[in-house]
Amino acid sequence: MQTKHRSRTLRLNKQVTKYLTLLSLALTLICGGITVAALRSNNEHMAKLRSALYAADKSGVNVPQALTNLQEYVTAHMNTNLSSGAGSVYPPIQLEYTYQRLVQAQNQAALSADTGLYTAAQAYCQTVIPNYFSGHNRVPCIENYVSTHGSLGSKAPTIPTALYEFDFISPIWSPDLAGWMILATILFAVLTLFFTSSLVFHRFFKKTDW
């Protein structure tokens, strides 16, 4: 009588284990599919924010806000990496139109500085050589003043790369849908392996009526 009860209990345990194995496998596949979709969604949203940044860069409107939106999203969501990485020559984000506006602004500033420099040279030489009615006699003095004080306009614009080149690193794991689904997929995969191992172990290594 005890043997029959034990046999029924073992069969019941086998059925429960099989059910749990199939359930955990199904949940693993479901969570895995959601994980893939969520990771793709993260990447697609990053691409939309990047496109919005390029559009803002071209128009020159709300560039800092668009840049902030992209940075905050990338640094908070996995599978959105915008880092150049090792061996990369160019950073992933380059604001071409921002660079052009910075160069134009610096050129304008240099031109204004040059104008001020020549004005200062004329005033200086007029003080040093006040006896000549014609300004041509002061030309060597003016040229010497400009050469010794330096002409800003002759210098190529130097724009810090931090103003128009960016790369953002995404986290390895993030507490969003993709992140939680990855953890769920791993959990159910481990349970599936455990239940499967239990079935295999009792079938081949236990002398029971399985």
Helix %, strand %, coil % for the chain, to 5?
Answer: 70, 5, 25
Partners of 166 in the β-ladder = 93
CA 46 to chain CA centroid, nearest Å: 8
Of the listed ranges 50-54, 65-69, 79-83, 158-162, the one predicted with least confidence:
158-162
Residue 58: both structure tokens together: 């071209």
**What does the alpha-carbon distance between residue 30 and residue 15 come to, in Å, rounded to a whole number?**
22
pLDDT value, residue 155 = 56
pLDDT value, residue 9 = 60
Q: At what angle do helices 96-128 and 139-149 cross, to 10 degrees?
A: 130
pLDDT value, residue 210 = 46
Partners of 165 in the β-ladder = 94
Mean pLDDT of 22-27: 96
pLDDT value, residue 58 = 95
**What does the alpha-carbon distance between residue 61 and residue 66 come to, in Å, rounded to a whole number?**
9
Mean pLDDT (the chain, rounded): 82
pLDDT value, residue 133 = 46
**Which letter does DSSP use for residue 157 in this model?**
P
Cβ atoms of residues 70 and 46 within 8 Å: yes
Residue 12: both structure tokens together: 């019941």
Residue 135: both structure tokens together: 């300004």
Q: Which H helix or E strand runs over 166?
A: strand 165-166
Q: Which residue has the higher pLDDT, 4 or 173?
A: 173
Asked whether the predicted pLDDT for residue 38 surpasses 70, the reply is: yes
Label residue 141 exposed, middle or buried (CB < 10 Å: 0-12, 13-18, 19+).
middle
Mean pLDDT of 111-121: 75
Residue 53: both structure tokens together: 């940044």
All structural domains of the chain with their residue ranges: 12-86+165-210, 96-163
Residues 87-98 pLDDT 10s: 555 678 999 999
